[in-house]
Amino acid sequence: MNWTVDRYDLPLSNPFGIARETSETSETVVVELTHEGTTGIGAVTPSAYYGESAASVAETLPSLCQTVDRIGDPHAQQRIERELDDHAPDQPAARMAVSIAVHDLAARCLDLPLYRQWGLDPAAIPPTTYTVGIDTPERMAEKASEAAASGFGRLKVKLGTDDDRARLDAVREAAPDAELRVDANAAWTAEEAIDKTAWLADAGVTMLEQPVEADDIDGLRRVTAATEIPVAADESCVTASDVPRVADACDIVNAKLVKCGGLRPATRLLHTAEAHGLDLMLGCMVESNASIAAAVHLAPLVDYLDLDGALLLESDPYTGMPLDGDVFDLTSVSVGTGATRNPAFAESV
Ligand SMILES: [Mg+2]
């Protein structure tokens, strides 16, 4: 098996603000694994919040690829996952890139799209939200209006600022028919969040994601008990083993490949959350189609979808899955994840 590891600093169309930071680029690491003439593609945009960086991922990936090479069989996914876990237990982002590349490679060797290998129903995909990052109320209104005009019926609005209400009101006015979900990215205390739920509910907000700090499970529980708005745990729920801790403190769990280490761990997180009676969400970072496309194949499992990350990039070395309005068209994928090299990208650099 041959492999390549490449790093990209992908520019975003607009600076992307959340409560704790604003980013202008997406630091992306791509792995390509080639086995008997077939290539699988995987990528990750690691998050400093979870303790990883493009540099740490790029440093670890060669030894993870050597592990896959030594096993020598892209279908040996249980064994590959176990050995990658043993080798890089604290580096889920690095494992995610390899997980996607191995799954893409295995599905390509079988000449199947990934969702068909898993037997999932492409018609069960929920529409994706489009994320409006933190900016001035005027700019957030513009972005919301543009997103609604281009077919997104559900907007995820980032809050956690000194004037959240002005921002949400501006978005509401700019996109009066859109369903609004709010993500505070751990910015509020439980008391602040409970206060805000009154006007969030008045504005018709249909979901509140991570209102309080990641380890404030009691606060999360109090917010959930105080409002009719369904509350999602994101930063508070990283892997399947976190689910029992948050199960009676929220309504929804947001699974992300980058947090838990790839497609198999994300599937396990979703099944665990479902078994605890929670609703399921699949989310992402601002990241390349080379990672988003893989996550879309899990989308038939979930109730809420937030996989707009690649839409926020100015340019991407990979193309991914087409959207029909705000619904990803899995049936358009003929093999693997559907991510392919973007010929226009080479010309633009
Ligand atoms: Mg979130």
Q: Is the pLDDT of residue 346 over 90?
A: no
Q: Is the pLDDT of residue 207 over 60?
A: yes
State pLDDT tens for residues 250-276: 999 999 999 999 999 999 999 999 999
For residue 66, the CA-to-ligand 1 centroid distance in Å is 33
State pLDDT tens for residues 212-255: 999 999 999 999 999 999 999 999 999 999 999 999 999 999 99
Mean pLDDT (the chain, rounded): 97
Confidence label for 337 from pLDDT (cuts 50, 70 and 90):
very high
Q: Is the pLDDT of residue 41 over 60?
A: yes
Q: Domains of the chain, with CATH numbers?
A: 2-111 (3.30.390.10), 116-344 (3.20.20.120)
For residue 72, the CA-to-ligand 1 centroid distance in Å is 36
For residue 219, the CA-to-ligand 1 centroid distance in Å is 17
For residue 214, the CA-to-ligand 1 centroid distance in Å is 11
For residue 45, the CA-to-ligand 1 centroid distance in Å is 15
For residue 324, the CA-to-ligand 1 centroid distance in Å is 24
Q: How far is CA 82 from CA 78, 86, 94, 306, in A?
A: 6, 6, 14, 28
For residue 142, the CA-to-ligand 1 centroid distance in Å is 22
Q: Is the pLDDT of residue 347 over 60?
A: no
Confidence label for 49 from pLDDT (cuts 50, 70 and 90):
very high
Nearest residue to 340 via CA among 323, 314, 322: 322
For residue 285, the CA-to-ligand 1 centroid distance in Å is 9
For residue 82, the CA-to-ligand 1 centroid distance in Å is 28
For residue 340, the CA-to-ligand 1 centroid distance in Å is 27
For residue 337, the CA-to-ligand 1 centroid distance in Å is 24
Q: Is the pLDDT of residue 348 over 90?
A: no
State pLDDT tens for residues 126-154: 999 999 999 999 999 999 999 999 999 99
Average of per-residue pLDDT across 300-329 = 95
Percent of the chain with pLDDT over 70: 99
For residue 73, the CA-to-ligand 1 centroid distance in Å is 35
Instruction: Give the pLDDT confidence score for residue 330 in this predicted structure.
Output: 97
For residue 186, the CA-to-ligand 1 centroid distance in Å is 9
Overall pTM > 0.85: yes
For residue 118, the CA-to-ligand 1 centroid distance in Å is 26
For residue 19, the CA-to-ligand 1 centroid distance in Å is 10
For residue 206, the CA-to-ligand 1 centroid distance in Å is 15
Confidence label for 83 from pLDDT (cuts 50, 70 and 90):
very high
